Structure 1
Amino acid sequence: MGLLDILLGRTKPVAPDLDQLFALPSAAVTLQAAAGFTPTGNGAVCFATVEGAAFEQTHREVQALLDADAERAGPPVEMSQDGYGYSWLLSRRSPDQLPQLVNDLHAVNSSMEANGFGPQLLCSLAAFADDTGRMLALVYLYKRGTFYPFAPLPGTADRRDSALELQMKAALASDLRIEQDLSRWFPVWGAPGL
Protein backbone atom coordinates (compact mmCIF):
# COMPACT_ATOMS: atom_id res chain seq x y z
CA MET A 1 0.00 0.00 0.00
CA GLY A 2 1.45 3.33 -1.04
CA LEU A 3 1.19 6.88 0.25
CA LEU A 4 -1.51 7.72 -2.32
CA ASP A 5 -3.65 4.83 -1.08
CA ILE A 6 -3.34 6.10 2.48
CA LEU A 7 -4.24 9.67 1.48
CA LEU A 8 -7.26 8.52 -0.53
CA GLY A 9 -8.46 6.23 2.25
CA ARG A 10 -8.03 3.02 0.31
CA THR A 11 -7.45 -0.09 2.31
CA LYS A 12 -5.79 -3.30 1.35
CA PRO A 13 -8.25 -6.21 1.20
CA VAL A 14 -7.87 -8.85 3.88
CA ALA A 15 -6.22 -11.97 2.50
CA PRO A 16 -8.25 -15.14 3.02
CA ASP A 17 -6.92 -17.27 5.84
CA LEU A 18 -8.44 -20.72 5.42
CA ASP A 19 -6.72 -21.89 8.59
CA GLN A 20 -9.35 -19.88 10.47
CA LEU A 21 -11.72 -22.77 9.72
CA PHE A 22 -9.78 -24.93 12.19
CA ALA A 23 -11.13 -22.76 15.03
CA LEU A 24 -14.64 -24.19 14.49
CA PRO A 25 -14.27 -27.20 16.86
CA SER A 26 -13.37 -24.95 19.80
CA ALA A 27 -16.20 -22.58 18.85
CA ALA A 28 -18.55 -25.59 18.89
CA VAL A 29 -17.73 -26.16 22.57
CA THR A 30 -18.62 -22.53 23.29
CA LEU A 31 -21.86 -22.81 21.28
CA GLN A 32 -22.93 -25.85 23.25
CA ALA A 33 -22.10 -24.27 26.61
CA ALA A 34 -23.64 -20.87 25.79
CA ALA A 35 -26.83 -21.92 23.99
CA GLY A 36 -27.07 -25.70 23.64
CA PHE A 37 -26.18 -25.83 19.93
CA THR A 38 -24.40 -28.96 18.70
CA PRO A 39 -22.96 -29.78 15.25
CA THR A 40 -25.32 -31.41 12.74
CA GLY A 41 -22.48 -32.85 10.67
CA ASN A 42 -23.36 -30.69 7.65
CA GLY A 43 -21.02 -28.18 6.08
CA ALA A 44 -20.99 -26.42 2.74
CA VAL A 45 -18.89 -24.24 0.47
CA CYS A 46 -20.60 -21.60 -1.68
CA PHE A 47 -19.13 -20.12 -4.84
CA ALA A 48 -20.17 -18.26 -7.96
CA THR A 49 -21.23 -20.77 -10.56
CA VAL A 50 -18.36 -21.91 -12.74
CA GLU A 51 -18.56 -23.93 -15.93
CA GLY A 52 -15.89 -25.52 -18.05
CA ALA A 53 -13.37 -28.29 -18.14
CA ALA A 54 -11.01 -26.74 -15.56
CA PHE A 55 -13.75 -26.60 -12.95
CA GLU A 56 -14.90 -30.14 -13.76
CA GLN A 57 -11.32 -31.32 -13.19
CA THR A 58 -11.20 -29.49 -9.85
CA HIS A 59 -14.52 -31.03 -8.84
CA ARG A 60 -13.19 -34.51 -9.68
CA GLU A 61 -10.05 -33.83 -7.61
CA VAL A 62 -12.15 -32.77 -4.62
CA GLN A 63 -14.38 -35.82 -5.05
CA ALA A 64 -11.35 -38.16 -5.18
CA LEU A 65 -9.75 -36.49 -2.16
CA LEU A 66 -12.90 -36.82 -0.06
CA ASP A 67 -13.64 -40.34 -1.39
CA ALA A 68 -10.33 -41.48 0.09
CA ASP A 69 -11.74 -40.98 3.61
CA ALA A 70 -12.72 -44.43 4.90
CA GLU A 71 -14.76 -42.99 7.81
CA ARG A 72 -17.27 -41.35 5.49
CA ALA A 73 -20.62 -42.95 4.84
CA GLY A 74 -22.47 -41.89 1.70
CA PRO A 75 -21.43 -39.52 -1.06
CA PRO A 76 -18.46 -37.29 -0.19
CA VAL A 77 -19.81 -34.16 -1.78
CA GLU A 78 -23.21 -33.21 -3.12
CA MET A 79 -23.38 -30.32 -5.54
CA SER A 80 -26.44 -28.09 -5.86
CA GLN A 81 -27.46 -24.64 -6.95
CA ASP A 82 -29.57 -22.22 -4.93
CA GLY A 83 -32.29 -19.87 -6.16
CA TYR A 84 -29.79 -17.02 -6.43
CA GLY A 85 -27.56 -18.82 -8.94
CA TYR A 86 -24.77 -19.77 -6.55
CA SER A 87 -23.34 -23.28 -6.42
CA TRP A 88 -22.92 -25.24 -3.19
CA LEU A 89 -20.75 -28.23 -2.37
CA LEU A 90 -22.28 -29.99 0.66
CA SER A 91 -20.32 -32.37 2.87
CA ARG A 92 -22.16 -34.62 5.32
CA ARG A 93 -20.55 -36.20 8.36
CA SER A 94 -21.86 -37.63 11.58
CA PRO A 95 -22.42 -34.92 14.23
CA ASP A 96 -19.42 -36.09 16.27
CA GLN A 97 -17.03 -35.60 13.31
CA LEU A 98 -16.77 -31.80 13.28
CA PRO A 99 -12.94 -31.82 12.95
CA GLN A 100 -13.24 -34.08 9.89
CA LEU A 101 -15.97 -31.81 8.46
CA VAL A 102 -13.67 -28.82 8.91
CA ASN A 103 -10.95 -30.74 7.06
CA ASP A 104 -13.45 -31.34 4.22
CA LEU A 105 -14.33 -27.63 4.01
CA HIS A 106 -10.66 -26.66 4.10
CA ALA A 107 -9.81 -29.20 1.37
CA VAL A 108 -12.59 -27.96 -0.93
CA ASN A 109 -11.60 -24.31 -0.45
CA SER A 110 -7.89 -25.06 -0.84
CA SER A 111 -8.43 -27.10 -4.01
CA MET A 112 -10.53 -24.40 -5.59
CA GLU A 113 -8.04 -21.73 -4.59
CA ALA A 114 -5.06 -23.75 -5.87
CA ASN A 115 -6.78 -24.27 -9.22
CA GLY A 116 -7.45 -20.57 -9.74
CA PHE A 117 -11.07 -20.44 -8.52
CA GLY A 118 -10.36 -18.43 -5.35
CA PRO A 119 -12.11 -15.29 -6.68
CA GLN A 120 -15.33 -17.31 -7.13
CA LEU A 121 -15.36 -18.53 -3.50
CA LEU A 122 -18.02 -16.77 -1.44
CA CYS A 123 -18.35 -18.50 1.91
CA SER A 124 -18.23 -21.76 3.85
CA LEU A 125 -20.52 -22.79 6.66
CA ALA A 126 -20.92 -25.39 9.37
CA ALA A 127 -24.44 -26.12 10.65
CA PHE A 128 -25.55 -26.50 14.27
CA ALA A 129 -28.91 -27.23 15.92
CA ASP A 130 -30.34 -27.18 19.43
CA ASP A 131 -32.84 -29.52 21.11
CA THR A 132 -35.81 -27.35 20.05
CA GLY A 133 -34.93 -27.58 16.35
CA ARG A 134 -33.46 -24.10 15.96
CA MET A 135 -30.69 -23.99 13.36
CA LEU A 136 -27.54 -21.92 13.41
CA ALA A 137 -24.74 -21.70 10.88
CA LEU A 138 -21.28 -20.33 11.45
CA VAL A 139 -20.47 -18.71 8.13
CA TYR A 140 -16.89 -18.03 7.04
CA LEU A 141 -16.59 -15.15 4.56
CA TYR A 142 -13.77 -16.16 2.24
CA LYS A 143 -12.87 -12.66 1.03
CA ARG A 144 -12.98 -11.13 4.52
CA GLY A 145 -11.37 -13.92 6.56
CA THR A 146 -14.11 -13.57 9.21
CA PHE A 147 -17.09 -15.49 10.60
CA TYR A 148 -20.64 -14.54 11.47
CA PRO A 149 -23.59 -16.49 12.87
CA PHE A 150 -26.70 -17.00 10.74
CA ALA A 151 -29.88 -18.20 12.48
CA PRO A 152 -32.92 -18.79 10.24
CA LEU A 153 -36.21 -18.87 12.11
CA PRO A 154 -37.84 -22.32 12.03
CA GLY A 155 -40.88 -22.59 9.78
CA THR A 156 -40.12 -19.41 7.83
CA ALA A 157 -38.64 -19.01 4.39
CA ASP A 158 -36.86 -15.70 4.83
CA ARG A 159 -36.77 -14.56 8.44
CA ARG A 160 -33.85 -14.79 10.79
CA ASP A 161 -33.35 -14.65 14.56
CA SER A 162 -31.23 -11.50 14.82
CA ALA A 163 -31.23 -11.55 18.63
CA LEU A 164 -29.73 -15.06 18.64
CA GLU A 165 -27.15 -14.03 16.04
CA LEU A 166 -26.03 -11.09 18.21
CA GLN A 167 -25.96 -13.31 21.30
CA MET A 168 -23.73 -15.79 19.48
CA LYS A 169 -21.52 -12.97 18.21
CA ALA A 170 -20.79 -12.01 21.81
CA ALA A 171 -20.34 -15.62 22.95
CA LEU A 172 -17.91 -16.51 20.12
CA ALA A 173 -15.78 -13.34 20.22
CA SER A 174 -12.84 -15.10 21.87
CA ASP A 175 -13.06 -18.24 19.66
CA LEU A 176 -13.46 -16.85 16.13
CA ARG A 177 -12.53 -13.78 14.13
CA ILE A 178 -16.06 -12.30 14.01
CA GLU A 179 -17.11 -9.96 11.18
CA GLN A 180 -17.77 -6.62 12.88
CA ASP A 181 -19.61 -5.03 9.95
CA LEU A 182 -23.17 -6.34 10.42
CA SER A 183 -24.10 -5.29 6.88
CA ARG A 184 -21.87 -8.13 5.67
CA TRP A 185 -23.89 -10.72 7.59
CA PHE A 186 -25.87 -11.69 4.52
CA PRO A 187 -28.48 -14.43 4.85
CA VAL A 188 -27.66 -17.74 3.22
CA TRP A 189 -31.21 -18.76 2.30
CA GLY A 190 -31.29 -22.04 0.47
CA ALA A 191 -27.97 -23.25 1.85
CA PRO A 192 -27.97 -27.07 1.73
CA GLY A 193 -27.74 -28.82 5.07
CA LEU A 194 -29.19 -25.89 6.98
Structure 2
Amino acid sequence: MGLLDGLRAALGLRAEADARRDADPEDLFGMSTAYLTMHAELGYDAMDEAALCFSGVDASGFEQTVDEVEAILESGRAETGTDFAVQADDHGYQWVVLRDDDPEDLVTSMHFAADTFVENGYGSRLLAAVFAYQKPSRDGEDGRAYWIYSFRRGSFYPFAPRPGRERDNGVEFKLESVLDGELEIEPDKEYWYPLWPSEHGTHPWE
Protein backbone atom coordinates (compact mmCIF):
# COMPACT_ATOMS: atom_id res chain seq x y z
CA MET A 1 0.00 0.00 0.00
CA GLY A 2 1.47 3.32 -1.06
CA LEU A 3 1.22 6.63 0.75
CA LEU A 4 -1.71 7.78 -1.37
CA ASP A 5 -3.59 4.52 -0.87
CA GLY A 6 -2.91 4.69 2.85
CA LEU A 7 -4.20 8.21 3.12
CA ARG A 8 -7.35 7.27 1.24
CA ALA A 9 -7.85 4.28 3.52
CA ALA A 10 -7.20 6.00 6.83
CA LEU A 11 -8.88 9.34 6.20
CA GLY A 12 -10.96 8.79 3.09
CA LEU A 13 -12.71 5.85 1.46
CA ARG A 14 -12.33 3.23 4.18
CA ALA A 15 -12.86 5.73 6.96
CA GLU A 16 -16.01 6.85 5.19
CA ALA A 17 -17.29 3.27 5.15
CA ASP A 18 -16.38 2.89 8.83
CA ALA A 19 -17.44 6.41 9.77
CA ARG A 20 -18.94 6.62 13.22
CA ARG A 21 -20.90 9.80 12.48
CA ASP A 22 -21.03 12.81 10.18
CA ALA A 23 -18.26 15.39 10.29
CA ASP A 24 -18.75 17.75 13.24
CA PRO A 25 -16.51 20.84 13.31
CA GLU A 26 -17.56 21.44 16.93
CA ASP A 27 -15.09 18.70 17.90
CA LEU A 28 -12.25 21.02 16.95
CA PHE A 29 -12.92 23.19 19.98
CA GLY A 30 -11.39 20.44 22.08
CA MET A 31 -8.04 21.87 21.04
CA SER A 32 -8.93 25.14 22.82
CA THR A 33 -8.07 23.49 26.15
CA ALA A 34 -5.81 20.70 24.91
CA TYR A 35 -3.04 23.14 23.98
CA LEU A 36 -2.94 24.29 27.61
CA THR A 37 -2.60 20.70 28.82
CA MET A 38 0.08 20.03 26.22
CA HIS A 39 2.13 22.88 27.66
CA ALA A 40 1.44 22.46 31.38
CA GLU A 41 1.76 18.67 31.61
CA LEU A 42 3.97 17.73 28.67
CA GLY A 43 6.08 20.80 27.95
CA TYR A 44 4.88 21.25 24.36
CA ASP A 45 4.32 24.68 22.86
CA ALA A 46 1.69 25.17 20.19
CA MET A 47 3.31 26.10 16.90
CA ASP A 48 1.91 28.97 14.87
CA GLU A 49 0.44 26.74 12.17
CA ALA A 50 -2.49 24.43 11.59
CA ALA A 51 -4.01 22.98 8.43
CA LEU A 52 -7.32 21.66 7.14
CA CYS A 53 -7.12 18.90 4.53
CA PHE A 54 -9.95 18.23 2.09
CA SER A 55 -10.51 16.45 -1.21
CA GLY A 56 -11.88 18.45 -4.08
CA VAL A 57 -14.71 17.66 -6.44
CA ASP A 58 -15.36 18.97 -9.92
CA ALA A 59 -18.49 20.98 -9.20
CA SER A 60 -19.21 24.69 -9.37
CA GLY A 61 -20.90 24.56 -5.98
CA PHE A 62 -17.75 23.16 -4.41
CA GLU A 63 -15.56 25.82 -6.01
CA GLN A 64 -17.93 28.46 -4.67
CA THR A 65 -17.64 26.90 -1.23
CA VAL A 66 -13.84 27.15 -1.32
CA ASP A 67 -14.21 30.78 -2.39
CA GLU A 68 -16.60 31.35 0.52
CA VAL A 69 -14.10 29.80 2.95
CA GLU A 70 -11.43 32.19 1.69
CA ALA A 71 -13.81 35.16 1.97
CA ILE A 72 -14.73 34.25 5.56
CA LEU A 73 -11.09 33.87 6.58
CA GLU A 74 -10.18 37.11 4.83
CA SER A 75 -12.94 38.99 6.65
CA GLY A 76 -11.75 37.61 9.98
CA ARG A 77 -8.07 38.32 9.34
CA ALA A 78 -8.29 41.86 10.72
CA GLU A 79 -9.87 40.67 13.97
CA THR A 80 -7.89 37.49 14.62
CA GLY A 81 -4.68 38.20 12.71
CA THR A 82 -4.88 34.71 11.21
CA ASP A 83 -3.08 34.42 7.87
CA PHE A 84 -4.15 31.69 5.49
CA ALA A 85 -3.44 30.10 2.15
CA VAL A 86 -5.20 27.46 0.07
CA GLN A 87 -2.83 25.07 -1.67
CA ALA A 88 -2.57 21.54 -3.06
CA ASP A 89 -0.10 18.76 -2.30
CA ASP A 90 1.49 16.27 -4.69
CA HIS A 91 -1.42 13.87 -4.31
CA GLY A 92 -4.14 16.28 -5.33
CA TYR A 93 -5.46 16.92 -1.84
CA GLN A 94 -6.13 20.52 -0.94
CA TRP A 95 -5.24 22.36 2.24
CA VAL A 96 -6.32 25.49 4.05
CA VAL A 97 -3.12 26.44 5.87
CA LEU A 98 -3.61 28.77 8.84
CA ARG A 99 -0.92 30.77 10.63
CA ASP A 100 -1.41 32.62 13.91
CA ASP A 101 0.57 32.90 17.14
CA ASP A 102 -2.65 32.56 19.18
CA PRO A 103 -3.71 28.88 19.39
CA GLU A 104 -7.33 29.79 20.14
CA ASP A 105 -7.54 31.95 17.02
CA LEU A 106 -6.21 29.01 15.00
CA VAL A 107 -8.94 26.77 16.39
CA THR A 108 -11.64 29.38 15.74
CA SER A 109 -10.50 29.97 12.16
CA MET A 110 -10.24 26.23 11.55
CA HIS A 111 -13.80 25.82 12.83
CA PHE A 112 -15.11 28.59 10.55
CA ALA A 113 -13.49 26.96 7.52
CA ALA A 114 -14.68 23.43 8.31
CA ASP A 115 -18.18 24.56 9.25
CA THR A 116 -18.54 26.34 5.91
CA PHE A 117 -17.91 23.08 4.06
CA VAL A 118 -20.48 21.29 6.23
CA GLU A 119 -23.12 24.02 5.92
CA ASN A 120 -22.78 23.96 2.12
CA GLY A 121 -23.22 20.19 1.98
CA TYR A 122 -19.56 19.25 1.50
CA GLY A 123 -18.74 17.86 4.93
CA SER A 124 -17.92 14.52 3.31
CA ARG A 125 -15.00 16.19 1.50
CA LEU A 126 -13.28 17.06 4.79
CA LEU A 127 -10.45 14.67 5.65
CA ALA A 128 -8.33 15.96 8.49
CA ALA A 129 -7.38 18.91 10.67
CA VAL A 130 -3.75 19.08 11.78
CA PHE A 131 -2.46 21.00 14.83
CA ALA A 132 1.31 21.31 15.31
CA TYR A 133 3.35 21.31 18.55
CA GLN A 134 7.01 21.61 19.41
CA LYS A 135 8.86 20.51 22.54
CA PRO A 136 12.21 22.18 23.22
CA SER A 137 15.03 19.65 23.03
CA ARG A 138 18.43 20.06 24.67
CA ASP A 139 20.15 17.41 22.56
CA GLY A 140 18.92 18.65 19.21
CA GLU A 141 16.43 15.83 18.69
CA ASP A 142 13.24 16.51 16.78
CA GLY A 143 10.58 17.41 19.31
CA ARG A 144 7.63 17.86 16.97
CA ALA A 145 4.24 16.28 17.54
CA TYR A 146 0.86 16.72 15.90
CA TRP A 147 -2.72 16.17 16.84
CA ILE A 148 -4.69 15.03 13.79
CA TYR A 149 -8.47 15.09 13.70
CA SER A 150 -10.19 12.67 11.30
CA PHE A 151 -13.53 14.08 10.19
CA ARG A 152 -14.66 10.68 8.94
CA ARG A 153 -13.96 9.02 12.27
CA GLY A 154 -14.89 11.96 14.50
CA SER A 155 -11.76 11.56 16.62
CA PHE A 156 -8.21 12.79 17.22
CA TYR A 157 -4.95 10.85 17.21
CA PRO A 158 -1.31 11.83 17.89
CA PHE A 159 1.50 11.72 15.36
CA ALA A 160 5.15 12.13 16.36
CA PRO A 161 7.31 11.97 13.20
CA ARG A 162 11.05 11.51 13.36
CA PRO A 163 13.79 11.61 10.70
CA GLY A 164 13.90 8.68 8.31
CA ARG A 165 10.12 8.33 8.32
CA GLU A 166 10.18 6.88 11.79
CA ARG A 167 7.55 7.47 14.46
CA ASP A 168 8.14 7.93 18.17
CA ASN A 169 5.48 5.56 19.44
CA GLY A 170 6.41 6.26 23.04
CA VAL A 171 5.60 9.94 22.59
CA GLU A 172 2.35 9.12 20.81
CA PHE A 173 1.21 6.79 23.60
CA LYS A 174 2.17 9.41 26.20
CA LEU A 175 0.10 12.05 24.39
CA GLU A 176 -2.80 9.61 24.24
CA SER A 177 -2.65 8.84 27.96
CA VAL A 178 -2.52 12.49 29.03
CA LEU A 179 -5.16 13.87 26.64
CA ASP A 180 -7.56 10.91 26.77
CA GLY A 181 -10.83 12.25 28.13
CA GLU A 182 -10.05 15.81 27.12
CA LEU A 183 -10.02 14.91 23.44
CA GLU A 184 -12.08 12.23 21.72
CA ILE A 185 -9.17 9.95 20.81
CA GLU A 186 -9.41 7.33 18.07
CA PRO A 187 -9.50 3.95 19.84
CA ASP A 188 -8.45 1.93 16.77
CA LYS A 189 -4.74 2.55 16.26
CA GLU A 190 -5.02 1.26 12.71
CA TYR A 191 -6.44 4.70 11.97
CA TRP A 192 -3.45 6.52 13.48
CA TYR A 193 -2.15 7.11 9.98
CA PRO A 194 1.21 8.89 9.61
CA LEU A 195 0.92 11.98 7.40
CA TRP A 196 4.42 11.98 5.94
CA PRO A 197 5.57 14.72 3.57
CA SER A 198 4.89 13.84 -0.04
CA GLU A 199 7.70 13.09 -2.47
CA HIS A 200 8.68 16.73 -2.91
CA GLY A 201 8.04 17.67 0.70
CA THR A 202 5.03 19.79 -0.14
CA HIS A 203 2.83 18.98 2.83
CA PRO A 204 2.14 22.42 4.28
CA TRP A 205 2.88 21.72 7.92
CA GLU A 206 6.53 20.94 7.15
For Structure 1 versus Structure 2, the TM-score category normalised by the shorter chain is 0.7 to 0.9
Alignment pair present for 1:175 and 2:182: yes
Residues matched between the structures, number:
180
* Pairing partner for 2:125 from 102, 120, 134: 120
| Secondary structure at the counterpart of residue 140 of structure 1 | strand
**Bigger helix fraction:** 2
* Pairing partner for 1:93 from 93, 96, 100: 100
- Give the 3 Å change call, closer, same or farther, for CA 173–12 of structure 1 in structure 2: closer
- Give the 3 Å change call, closer, same or farther, for CA 159–81 of structure 1 in structure 2: farther
The within-5 A match list for 1:4-153 is: 13-69=20-76, 70-73=78-81, 76-94=83-101, 97-132=102-137, 133-153=142-162
Whole-Å separation in 2 of the counterparts to 1:13 and 1:179:
11
- Is contact 1:42-1:126 (8 Å) kept? yes
Structure with max Cα Rg: 1
Whole-Å separation in 2 of the counterparts to 1:161 and 1:84:
25
- Give the 3 Å change call, closer, same or farther, for CA 179–12 of structure 1 in structure 2: closer
**Structure 2 alignment gaps of length 5 or more:** 1-17, 198-202
| Secondary structure at the counterpart of residue 118 of structure 2 | helix
Q: CA RMSD in A?
A: 2.1
Q: 26-35 or 138-147: which moved more?
A: 26-35
AA at the equivalent of 1:175: E
**Structure 1 alignment gaps of length 5 or more:** 1-10
| Secondary structure at the counterpart of residue 193 of structure 1 | coil
| Secondary structure at the counterpart of residue 157 of structure 2 | strand
- Is contact 2:29-2:107 (8 Å) kept? yes
Per-residue deviation, residues 112-168 of structure 1 (Å, max 9, x unmatched): 112222111111111111112521111111011111111111xx2522211111110
TM-score (norm 1): 0.84
- Is contact 1:126-1:139 (8 Å) kept? yes
Whole-Å separation in 1 of the counterparts to 2:64 and 2:164:
35
TM-score (norm 2): 0.79
Identity %: 31
- Is contact 2:19-2:152 (8 Å) kept? no
Structure 1 residue 184: Cα displacement: 0.3
